A = this chain, B = another copy of it.
């Protein structure tokens, strides 16, 4: 939780003058948000989120993220919609940072999702993949299989101080994943970070998806594998098969998986778990002094990997077998 950049009333008022969203009524720094600085904005034109992009987001990637949100919103997906200024430009600059205003989305993140939340998430995820089908830009997933070994090398000298035997386990996973990572699966725009914080509900209804700053072009089923990891496990590594089943069924209600995706699901889940374990491990071992954000525990994903190493079939994740449309 953090506001990395303070924005004065005068700087904000000057910035807003370029937009046609009315007069500033209120703004509050939002404590959530690990990567960027976010403000809740209330103007006579409505409610918005102002984001200042801090150093972890590459400025070169911002046009992809912003155009994607605009594209998805135009296709009816409930996601933040970038506001263009009077000259038609969405990406501005404030306090020396790239800055963007997006529409405010109501909804609450569910800390402990249930079966119904997972089903709704599955539907929304497939809806996102469908809505992105005709998006014209591409962005390589720079946190996929090729990145994992170099990422691990950053932490390797200290890895076993975090957990005994971690190096051996990771090297084993890497060998398997590098040898058998599936290629040629149905691909397109994926969210790639659809954790519970990034999915809003109002009551039991899914009301929107946020935080597209890891979105990229990759296999759709890998996005499903990320969600299975993020939504269907306890912190102790135990898997909720009923939630996995609901997530997959919700997804297939909109976009049925092809057989290559079903076959690949266990290895995709294992890869997704390793990806989050590795980035968390780097953060865990490199907490800057004066950090405002508590790093997330990499060992939660080490525990999930224990499950994935034994899974051999999509049915282990709750897949119910080929449906009527498969």
Q: Which residues on the B side are within 8 Å of A24 (C-beta)?
A: 108, 202
Q: Does A127 contact B (CB under 8 A)?
A: no
Would you call A25 and B106 a contact (CB within 8 A)? yes
**Interface window among A29-37, A232-240, A270-278, A303-311:** A29-37
A116 nearest CB across to chain B (Å) = 14
Task: From known contacts A1-B3, A23-B202, A23-B203, infer whether A110 and B31 are also in contact, taking CB-CB under 8 Å.
Answer: no
A80 nearest CB across to chain B (Å) = 13
Q: Choose from B32, B47, B105 the contact partner of A29 (Cβ within 8 Å).
A: B32
Would you call A9 and B108 a contact (CB within 8 A)? yes
Q: Which residues on the B side are within 8 Å of A263 (C-beta)?
A: none
A164 nearest CB across to chain B (Å) = 27
Type the 1/0 row for A33-57, where 1 means its CB is closer than 8 Å to any CB of B.
0000000101000010000000000
Would you call B31 and A29 a contact (CB within 8 A)? yes
Q: Which residues on the B side are within 8 Å of A58 (C-beta)?
A: none
Q: Does A230 contact B (CB under 8 A)?
A: no
Q: Which residues on the B side are within 8 Å of A8 (C-beta)?
A: 111-112
Q: From A3, A23, A26, A27, name the one whose CB has the most chain B CB atoms within 10 angstroms.
A: A26
Q: Choose from B28, B202, B292 the contact partner of A40 (Cβ within 8 Å).
A: B28
Q: Does A92 contact B (CB under 8 A)?
A: no
User: What is the bound-complex CA distance between A112 and B11, given in angstroms?
Assistant: 11
Q: Does A98 contact B (CB under 8 A)?
A: no
Q: Which residues on the B side are within 8 Å of A182 (C-beta)?
A: none
Would you call A202 and B25 a contact (CB within 8 A)? yes
Residue of B nearest to A201 (CB): B9
List which A95-123 residues lie within 8 A (CB) of chain B: 104-112
Q: From A3, A25, A112, name the one whose CB has the most chain B CB atoms within 10 angstroms.
A: A25
List which A1-32 residues lie within 8 A (CB) of chain B: 1-3, 8-10, 12, 23-32
Would you call A28 and B23 a contact (CB within 8 A)? no
User: What is the bound-complex CA distance between A292 and B29, given in angstroms?
Assistant: 14
Q: Which residues on the B side are within 8 Å of A27 (C-beta)?
A: 108
User: What is the bound-complex CA distance between A25 and B3, given in angstroms?
Assistant: 23
Task: From known contacts A3-B31, A31-B3, infer whether A26 and B111 are also in contact, taking CB-CB under 8 Å.
Answer: no
Q: Choose from B12, B30, B106, B110 the contact partner of A30 (Cβ within 8 Å).
A: B30
Q: Which residues on the B side are within 8 Å of A109 (C-beta)?
A: 9
Task: From known contacts A29-B1, A32-B29, infer whether A112 and B23 are also in contact, taking CB-CB under 8 Å.
Answer: no
Would you call A112 and B10 a contact (CB within 8 A)? yes
Task: From known contacts A3-B1, A10-B112, A111-B9, infer whether A32 and B28 are also in contact, taking CB-CB under 8 Å.
Answer: yes
Would you call A107 and B28 a contact (CB within 8 A)? no
Q: Choose from B28, B47, B108 the contact partner of A31 (Cβ within 8 Å).
A: B28
5 A-B pairs (CB sep. < 8 Å) = A9-B108, A28-B31, A29-B31, A40-B40, A292-B292
